[in-house]
Amino acid sequence: MPHSVFKRWLSGPLCVIALGALGISAMACDTPVYRFSMYSDSWAPWPYAAFYLHSGEIPEAHAAINRRLASFEDEIPHRTNLVLHEVNTTEAGVWEQLPKTLRQEWEDLAEKGPRWFIMAPHALRPLYSGNLDDATLASLIDSPVRQQIGKAQEQGKMVLLLLEGAAADENEAAAKVIADVAKQAADGLLASNELPLDLPKVPDPEAKPNLDTLSLELQMIRVRRDDPAERFLVQMLMAVEPDLDRFADRAMVFLAYGRGRVLPPYIGAGITAENLITESGVQFLLGPCSCEIKGQNPGADLLTSWDWRASAMKLAEKFGEEEGNQDLLGISSLVPTLSLGMPGEKSTPSQAVDAAGSDAEKSTSDKSLLAAAVPAGTNPPTDTSSYREAAAGDVERRDADANALNRSMSLYLGIGIAAAALIMVVFGLIAWRGKAV
């Protein structure tokens, strides 16, 4: 076979295969998780539920609060992930749809007057039960720390929340660890996508920053458990996993990411630089996104009143075009992105590793009902026996649909590449035979 002919017929299919490989590469999302989860509207905070239970006429003061709660769904832009459900306990068929823990709390009340129950999408028990007035509602949906989180994240910062414990020395030790990790990030020692698994306890002073990546800025925000302005935030953080009350006197570090989402905490002696920079911590948030579903990622959503889409636009403007932010920048993307995740991972256990290191000191997040959270914009079903069971089924169906779409796209792309390569090989052989004749 003449060398020139060989080059001609081989170059065709190879080019097609190379272009196909580039296409597959283009579909892979290399945007860091902490930014992609801000860009994607599918990462809007899942709603908290405000159940208002009553058995008759609603007092005007309560009706006014309920009108305020109902208005959150009509906000433009949408800011507050809190949905009102008025429940007349005397109506047939309604009672059975409520979460069992809420029903139990209602039944345990000595006086069953009208009241609100606030439920987190991932929590087993109500975060709050009682009366709501304007001041209580304001501190429920927002607080100074939650404002700081929003401002930091729209600037591209990674936020570490230090929820202080009872021991001052443990709090200061945790703050020192966070400061050490923040310095490594600022010095460019935490290169995205290639974080070392075994970090030296003392960074090499001769190490040079990675100039190929933007330096990462980590911001520590301290939260006192006795701060009245943050009492609802403290309750939300303590509900991220079902057994955190056992560590209520210990210092905890939560990594905030996405649109008001936090990872399970590192606790007490488990707060170390090595632990914070792991595949379940900073390394996860710096790693590349993938086409998975929000509910398959670790963490839980906070109740916030913040324009996350506006923050995402500012973030996109700062970092420029990258996978996930084309819509925010007015750029059409040819590659559909459903959401992000760590394949095969649904949640991460709390890093509740104390000095003893016993199993009793470790939290088990598989008990968390993250999958039972209701995606934003949906209303509770009225044709099922359990609000939570139906919500979980909703999420599972959405996950299955999205995964099926991903598999179909991969299959069609593979078939297209193979067909194009085959056609080019056939034409190359025909051309060669013609030349040979």
Residue 223 has pLDDT above 50, yes or no: yes
Q: Which of 220-234, 342-356, 368-382 has the lowest mean pLDDT?
A: 368-382
pLDDT at 279: 73
pLDDT at 74: 93
**Count of Cβ atoms closer than 10 Å to residue 286 Cβ:** 22
Mean pLDDT of the chain: 75
Instruction: Report how far residue 193's alpha carbon sits from residue 204's, in angstroms, rounded to the nearest whole number.
Output: 20
Residue 239 contacts by C-beta under 8 Å, 6 or more apart in sequence? 120, 122, 123, 125, 127, 300
C-alpha neighbours within 13 Å on the C-beta side of residue 307: 8
Q: In terms of residues, how long is the chain?
A: 437
Give me the mean pLDDT over the 114-123 stretch: 93
| pLDDT tens profile 292-341 | 568 778 899 999 999 999 999 999 998 888 888 888 887 754 444 443 33
Residue 171 has pLDDT above 50, yes or no: yes
Instruction: Report how far residue 15's alpha carbon sits from residue 225's, in angstroms, rounded to the nearest whole number.
Output: 61
Most confident of 79-88, 209-218, 278-287: 79-88
pLDDT confidence tier of residue 410, bands split at 50, 70 and 90: low
- For CA atoms 289, 260, 116, 239, the dihedral sign is positive
Instruction: Report how far residue 245's alpha carbon sits from residue 239's, in angstroms, rounded to the nearest whole number.
Output: 8
How far is C-alpha 371 from the geometric centre of its chain's CA atoms?
Answer: 12
Whose tokens are 């520590």? That residue is: 220
Residue 388 has pLDDT above 60, yes or no: no
pLDDT at 369: 26
Residue 436, token pair as written in the block = 């040979």
Contact, 264 vs 349, CB < 8 A? Answer: yes
pLDDT confidence tier of residue 359, bands split at 50, 70 and 90: very low
Whose tokens are 């990411």? That residue is: 257
pLDDT at 437: 55
pLDDT at 380: 31
Contact, 85 vs 52, CB < 8 A? Answer: yes
Give me the mean pLDDT over the 208-223 stretch: 68
Cis link prior to 375 (omega < 30° from 0)?
no
Contact, 162 vs 221, CB < 8 A? Answer: yes
Contact, 298 vs 37, CB < 8 A? Answer: no
Contact, 343 vs 292, CB < 8 A? Answer: yes
3-state secondary structure at position 328 = coil
Contact, 322 vs 31, CB < 8 A? Answer: yes
Question: Concatenated DSSP letters for 35-47?
Answer: HHHHH-GGGPPPP
Burial of 18 (0-12, 13-18, 19+ CB in 10 A): exposed
The DSSP element (H or E) to which 395 belongs, if any, is helix 387-436
Query: Which amino acid type is present at position 181?
Result: V
Residue 31 has pLDDT above 60, yes or no: yes
Q: What Cα–Cα distance (Å) separates residue 55 from each residue in 42, 220, 324, 381?
A: 37, 46, 47, 21
Instruction: Report how far residue 274's alpha carbon sits from residue 278's, in angstroms, rounded to the nearest whole number.
Output: 7
Cis link prior to 200 (omega < 30° from 0)?
no
Q: What Cα–Cα distance (Å) separates residue 5 from each residue in 13, 428, 431?
A: 14, 9, 8
The DSSP element (H or E) to which 147 belongs, if any, is helix 144-154
